[in-house]
Amino acid sequence: MKFRLFVAAAMAVSLALPAAAQQPIVIKFSHVVAVNTPKGKGADYFKKLAEERTGGKVKVEVYPNSQLFKDGEEMEALQLGSVQMLAPSVSKFGPLGAREFEIFDLPYIFDSYDDLHKVTDGPVGKALFKKLESKGIIGLAYWANGFKDMSANKALRKPEDMKGLKMRIQSSKVLDSEMRAFGALPQVMAFSEVYQAMQTGVVDGSENPPSNFYTQKMHEVQKYLTLTDHGVIEYAVIVNKKFWDGLPADIRTTLEGAMKDATKYADDIAKKENDEALAAVKASGKTEIITLSPAEKAAWKKAAIVVHKENESRVGKETIETVYKETGFKP
């Protein structure tokens, strides 16, 4: 009798095991931009690599375009474990209590993608990720989008043209200072609401790289785009720490490899995606693109430079100096 019970129990276990083993680990990866952007494509590429390399043991569900959560909401969802992975712009980390990430918002501090990579790959990038751990978050990678341009329904050639304009910004105090330095009135708003706010005149304009400008159809509701290149949009791919630490070690290692390769892919396509988006804006004939001469660009930089000093205590004087050294920036 005992033997029969043992055999029945053993059979039940052996029948149950394959079914249990087939249940994939699900990673919900939420983001706010369109699929056809450096971040959208990077997320999809990570999904592909993660699913292939784990032989289907991991399923990555990508939710683009604020489908699942808007800015702000998605951070909370990550901490609560409703989603496992995000890639927010680092300009949105202030409300989380990690204001030092706003170093990336200092106007004109980066001249090129190379400058940006020097900082994210160096001690500053690592130290910033360390700050997330106490918030229950792990930083896996930095992904670059590109350089921001200023848009409005009015031609912006000199910083004074910004005077009195209501400009949408991300939730960064440094961006607030930046818009005020230009004489504009900053308004924090979720990315998903910007198109409508422009359409209805709730805001006059905004700043974004061409890839976001075009894929959110902002060219339909903004008459001018000035190639100011005054700042960057940089992302941090982040995961819920409890979820990540709880993964089987071999799966985690495989996912880290997939993230490394997806990061290279996202960084490699970023410039091309933005160049193509700018060409598409031009081709639409709906938004006039304003190119600045070096002297005009210098005037924008001169107006914005005060923002660095103003935010020394917010982002850290030492961190600013390290970034100056790494990028060769001269205030």
Q: Which is nearer to ligand LMR, 54 or 229 (CB)?
A: 229
* 170 sits near ligand LMR (criterion: CB under 6 A): yes
Using a 10 angstrom Cβ sphere, with 0-12 exposed, 13-18 middle and 19 or more buried, the burial of residue 266 is buried
Contact 212, 145 (CB under 8 A): yes
Lookup: tokens for 87: 């890639």
What's the closest the beta carbon of residue 204 comes to ligand LMR, in angstroms?
16
Q: Which is nearer to ligand LMR, 100 or 273 (CB)?
A: 273
Q: Which is nearer to ligand LMR, 69 or 191 (CB)?
A: 191
What's the closest the beta carbon of residue 98 comes to ligand LMR, in angstroms?
16
Site string for ligand LMR, 136-155 (x = CB under 6 A): ---------x----------
Rounded Cα distance between 264 and 42, Å, is: 9
Q: Which is nearer to ligand LMR, 65 or 153 (CB)?
A: 65
* 212 sits near ligand LMR (criterion: CB under 6 A): yes
* 233 sits near ligand LMR (criterion: CB under 6 A): yes
* 54 sits near ligand LMR (criterion: CB under 6 A): no
Lookup: tokens for 12: 């039940």
* 33 sits near ligand LMR (criterion: CB under 6 A): yes
* 32 sits near ligand LMR (criterion: CB under 6 A): yes
Question: Ramachandran region of residue 65, left (φ > 0), alpha (ψ -120 to 50) or beta?
Answer: left
> What is the pairing mode between strands 149-152 and 137-147?
unpaired
* 48, 51, 270 from 257: Cα distances, Å: 12, 12, 20
**Out of 46, 69, 129, 191, which residue is the one contacting ligand LMR (CB under 6 A)?**
191
**Out of 30, 54, 66, 208, which residue is the one contacting ligand LMR (CB under 6 A)?**
208
Using a 10 angstrom Cβ sphere, with 0-12 exposed, 13-18 middle and 19 or more buried, the burial of residue 8 is exposed
CA angle 179, 183, 186 (to 5 degrees): 40
Residue whose entry in the numeric block shows the structure tokens 């209501």:
166
* 228 sits near ligand LMR (criterion: CB under 6 A): no
**CA gyration radius for the chain?**
22
Rounded Cα distance between 329 and 111, Å, is: 8
Number of residues engaging ligand LMR in binding (CB under 6 A): 9
* 66 sits near ligand LMR (criterion: CB under 6 A): no
What's the closest the beta carbon of residue 57 comes to ligand LMR, in angstroms?
29
List interacting residues with ligand LMR (CB under 6 A). 32-33, 89, 145, 170, 191, 208, 212, 233
